[in-house]
Chains A and B, each alone.
Chain A
Amino acid sequence: MTRMISYEAKDTFIHRLSGFSKLVFFILWCTASAITYDTRILLAMVIAGGVIFALSKTRWNQVKTVFKAVMFFMILNLLCIYLFAPDQGTKIYGTRTLLTHTGNHYDLTAEQLFYEFNVCIKYFTVIPSIFIFLVTTNPSELAASMNGVGIPYTVAYSVSIALRYIPDVQGDYQRIKNAQQARGIEMSKKASLPDRIKRTASIIFPLLFSTMDRIDVVSNAMELRGFGKKKKRSWYMKRPLKAGDYIVIIISAALVLFTILMNIRNGGRFYNPFN
C-alpha cells in the first residue's frame, strides 16, 4: 500500500523552512493565482512554481496519483466551460475572432481558447504549491503551522490526530476484511457489484465499532492529559522563524500586492491581447 502525498524527510532549503511560512506561502500564492487572469503573471508563476518544485527534490512517485486526479478534473472543468459558456471569452475580451466557421453556437473563438488557456495555467500555478506544502512539511509541524495562521488548536490538532490514526484504521480494515472473507463474505471481483456493496456493510460496521472504541480511548487519554483545558496551547514541534522564513513571507506578500496593483493598472483581472 503506497501512501499518496506523504511527507519525506530531505535536506533542502524548502524542508528547512518552518511549516508556518510554507503555509503562509501556500495561502498567499493561491490567493495571487485566484485574483488574477493576467497571463504574464500566471506564466511567471508556473515557471517559478516548477523551479521551486524541482528544488524540493520531490519524487514523481510521491505525487503521481494525485496529479493524475487533478488533471482529470481540470480537463473536465475546461470541457464544461466550453459546453456551458462557449462565448465566455468574447464576453471578457470584447472581440470575437472565429477559428471555425460552422455558424453554430459552438464555434471556437480565439478569445475562448485564450480564456481557457488561462484557466488551465491557473491549475498549474496552484498544483506545485500544494505538493510542496504537503510533501515538505513534517505532519507533526502541520498542526502547529495551522494554529499559527489562526485556525483554533482543537481543529488543527484534529487534523494531526487523524493523520496519526490513518495507518491504524487501514490496518483494522485489512484485518476485518480478511476475517470476514474467511467467513465466506466474498469481497474480491468474483462477486457481483451489488453483492459486494451489500457485503461492505459486514466490514464497515465492525470497523466503525472498533474505530469508535479507539476514539473513546483516545479522547479519554487526551482529556486526562489536559487537552482543551486552556485557550492557548504551545507546540513542541513549532519551529522558530529564521531569516529564510521572513524572506519567503515577504516575497509571497509582495506577490499578492503586485497582482492587485496589476489588476488596477489593467483595469480588471484580465490581460487582453486582442486590443
Chain B
Amino acid sequence: MAEPIIEFKNFSFKYRAQEEPTVTDINLKIYPGEKILIAGPSGSGKSTLAHCINGLIPGSFTGDITGTLTVAGLNPAEAGVFGMAKKVGTVLQDTDGQFIGLTVAEDLAFALENEALPQKEIFEKVDRAAELVHVENLLKSSPMELSGGQKQRVSLGGVMVDNVDILLFDEPLANLDPATGKRTIELIDEILHQNNVTVVIIEHRLEDVLWRDVDRIVVVGDGKIVADEAPDQLLCSNVLEEQGIREPLYISAIRHAGCTISPEDRPQHIASMNIEPYKSAVQRWFSAVPPKQKKPRTDTVLTVNDLSFSYDGSRDVLTDVSFSIEKGEMVSIVGKNGAGKSTLASLICGFYTPTRGTILLNGKDISPFSVRERGESIGFVMQSPNQMISKPMLMEEVGLGLTVRGVPEEEVRTRVKKTLKICGLYPYRNWPVGALSFGQKKRVSIASILVMEPEILILDEPTAGQDFRHYTEIMEFLKELNRTLGLTILMITHDMHLMLEYTDRALVLCDGVLMADTAPAAVLTDENVAEKAFLKKTSLYDLAKKCDIDDTEEFTDRFIEYERTLRQKEKGIE
C-alpha cells in the first residue's frame, strides 16, 4: 500500500490557555485518494485536528505538541500556514466569512494573486476553477448576490485553483439548507473523482455526508479517536450513540424495531441497503407503536392575514401570507435561504412595516404598536447570542429588558432569579457572561427575553452550528418551556430533524409564498413540497417504502413519537 498522506503518530496538542490537552494519543493514517469523515460532538477535538492539518496549529493557535504529524511529507509546525496552504485547501463552515474578494472572480483569484502569478495565468486558472465548481456564469457577481450554496462553491473553487493534494472541509454543511447540503456533498464527490485529491470532511451531520460514499469514518470523543472504521461497520456499532452523534434516521428506526444490523447488508445508504432481513420486524414495530396523539385545539394567539412585503416597492419578498398560530403551539418556519423566513419574523416583531395585510395578536391588530411595545408580548431571540449580549454580568444582562422599562430594582431581581432557575442558569448567577460556554450563552439570550414574560417566542435558527448533544439540550429546554409555561414558540430553521421532532406544524415558505402549512412529517414525505422548498425527503420515507409501508407520513410520525417517549423515559431514570 502507498505511504499515508496524513499521519498522526502518538500526537497530542494542548492549547496554551488550557490546562489539559485537547487531543491526546492520536494515531491516524489517511492514504492518498481516500475520503474520510471525522465526526464527533463539539468540544471533542475534531476541529483541533483540522487546525493541525492545515497548520493553523501551531501557526495561529499556539500550544504544546507532542508526537509527530506528517502531512504530504511536511511537518505543519515547520512549514507553517503558508507552507501548508500549497498542499492543503481548507473550506471553512462560515461561507460568508471566508468570501474575501469583492466579486466571485476575485475571490477565486485570491490565492493566485498572493503567489504573485502573472495576470494571464491567473485568468486561465480562475476560468478553469470556475468551471470545476460550476460558477462560470457568476464570475462578476458580488457575494451579496449569491446564495449560501453558491458561496460554498466559490470557497471550494478558491482552494482548488492551487492544485492542492488534500481538501479539508470544516463543517461544510452547517449553514446550508438540506437540499443545498446534498448538492455540496455531490460536488465534493465529483471533485474527488476528477482530480486526484484526498478529502477530509469534519461534520456532525452524518446522514447528510453519507449521501455519497466515504471510505472511513473517524469518530473523535473527548480528544481521543474512539473509532476508525468503514461506514458499513460503524453504523452497526453503538459508537455513534455513545458519542452523542445523530445516526441516520433509518438506522435508528431499524434498531427501534429490535434488529441488529449487520455490515453485509451495506447500511451506508438506504437506497442500496439490503432491507429484507429487517422488513418484517419494521412492519411489526410500525403496527405496535401507538399513533401520535393530536393536541387539543386552543385559542388562536397570532393571526396573519394576507401579509405582503417589499423592500423596494416593486418586487415582493413576501406575497399574501396567511396563517394562524394557536396558544401553546410549537411551529417551525422552513424554506431555502432567502425564501422570506427572516422577513416574516421581522414583520411580526415590527422591524419592518408590511406593504399590505394585517397581524393580529389575540384578535387585536398590532400595527399601531412600536417594536418595543410588541417586544413585551412577542420575544425575539437572534441566531448568535453574541448578537444580543451587551452587559458583562449575567444578572444585569438578563434583567436589562426590565430595567429599561423602569421596573423597580427589587422586582427585577426576583424576576431575574426566577427566570434563571427556569433556564438552569441559577448556579451561575454571579458569573460574568464571558465565562459561560456557547450553549449557556444561548440560554442567557433566551432568558433575557423570557424575563419579560412574552406570550410568543420567535427564535432564529436556535440550533445553528450545534452538535446533536447541544441541539438536544437546547430543544428539550424549549420544549420544557413550551410545556410548563404554555409558551407559544415559532422557530426559523434549516434543520429538518428539529422540525420533525419538536414542532407540531411547519410553515413552508418558497420565494415569499406560503407553500404549505401542515404537519412536519407531511412536508418531508411529500416529494413535491420538499423539492420546491429545498428541503430533503427524510430517509424514513425511503425506509417505509422499502418495507412496503404506504402511509409514510404516519410512519415518520410514529417514529418521532416513539423517540420522544424514549427520551422522556431516559430523563425519568436520571
Contact = CB atoms under 8 A, between A and B. Distances in A.
A116 interface: no
B366 to A, nearest CB: 13
Interface string A223-234: 111111110111
A228 B114 CA distance: 7
A206 B382 CA distance: 11
A225 B388 contact: no
A238 interface: yes
Given A210-B386, A230-B115, A224 B85 contact: yes
B81 A223 contact: yes
Interface stretch (A20-28, A98-106, A160-168, A249-257): A160-168
A164 B349 contact: no
Contacts of A206: 386-390
B286 interface: no
A85 B29 CA distance: 80
B320 interface: no
A205 B389 CA distance: 8
Interface residues of A, number: 52
A151 to B, nearest CB: 16
Interface stretch (B93-101, B244-252, B414-422, B495-503): B93-101
Given A183-B448, A233-B116, A236-B109, A213 B386 contact: yes
A175 interface: yes
Interface string A172-190: 1001101111111110101
Contacts of A222: 100, 110
A140 interface: yes
Q: Is the interface of A mostly helix, strand, loop or mixed?
A: helix
Nearest to A177: B351
A160 B102 contact: yes
B: interface residue count bin: 35 or more
A199 B401 CA distance: 12
Contacts of A234: 112-113, 115-119, 122
B374 interface: yes
A209 interface: yes
B100 A232 contact: no
Contact of A199 (B100, B162, B404): B404
A235 B123 CA distance: 10
Contact of A179 (B86, B100, B387): B387
A226 B162 CA distance: 10
A226 B115 contact: yes
Given A139-B102, A163-B102, A178-B351, A186 B382 contact: no
B346 interface: yes
B170 to A, nearest CB: 10
B100 A183 contact: no
Interface string A103-131: 00000000000000000000000000000
A130 to B, nearest CB: 21
Nearest to A229: B82
Contacts of B380: 178-179, 182
Contact of B98 (A160, A161, A202, A217): A217
Contacts of A172: 387
B184 interface: no
A221 interface: yes
B297 interface: no
B374 A179 contact: no
B376 interface: yes
A235 B119 contact: yes
A178 B349 contact: yes
A238 to B, nearest CB: 6
Contacts, number: 165
B387 A175 contact: yes
B375 interface: yes
Contacts of B405: 184
Contact of A183 (B56, B97, B116, B400): B400
A181 B106 contact: no
Contacts of B102: 139-140, 160, 163-164
B259 to A, nearest CB: 44
A221 B417 CA distance: 42
A186 B370 CA distance: 10
B85 A226 contact: yes
Nearest to B123: A236
Which residue among A140, A182, A202, A229 has the maximum number of chain B CB atoms within 10 Å of its CB? A182
Q: Which of B372, B378, B448 has the most CB of A within 10 A?
A: B372
Nearest to B90: A224
Nearest to B82: A229
A214 interface: yes
Interface string B376-419: 10111010101111110000000011101100000000000000
A209 B382 contact: no
User: Quick one: which of B101, B159, B404 has the most chain A CB within 10 A?
Assistant: B404
A220 B371 contact: no
B449 interface: yes
Nearest to A204: B390
Contacts of A188: 370
B390 A217 contact: no
Given A176-B387, A234-B122, A225 B371 contact: no
B106 A236 contact: yes
A226 B113 CA distance: 9
Nearest to B143: A164
Contacts of B126: 236
Contacts of A180: 388, 390
Nearest to A201: B390
A223 B401 CA distance: 41
B92 A164 contact: no
A4 interface: no
B354 interface: no
Nearest to A171: B144
A218 interface: yes
Interface in B29-81: 54, 56, 59-60, 81
Contacts of B510: none
A41 interface: no
A237 interface: yes
Contacts of A139: 102
Contacts of A221: 92, 97-98, 100
A191 to B, nearest CB: 9
B549 interface: no
B508 interface: no
B144 A167 contact: yes
B512 interface: no
A186 B373 CA distance: 10
Contacts of A235: 113, 119
B440 interface: no
Given A140-B102, A218-B97, A225 B375 contact: no
B105 interface: yes
Interface string A147-170: 000000000000011011001100
B375 A184 contact: yes
Interface of B: 54, 56, 59-60, 81-82, 85-86, 90, 92, 94, 96-98, 100-103, 105-106, 109-119, 122-123, 126, 143-144, 158-159, 162, 346, 349-351, 370-372, 374-376, 378-380, 382, 384, 386-391, 400-402, 404-405, 448-449, 452
Given A205-B389, A236-B126, 11 more contacts: A178-B346, A184-B376, A220-B92, A222-B100, A223-B60, A224-B56, A230-B114, A230-B116, A234-B117, A234-B119, A236-B105
6 contacts: A167-B144, A217-B92, A221-B98, A224-B54, A226-B115, A234-B113
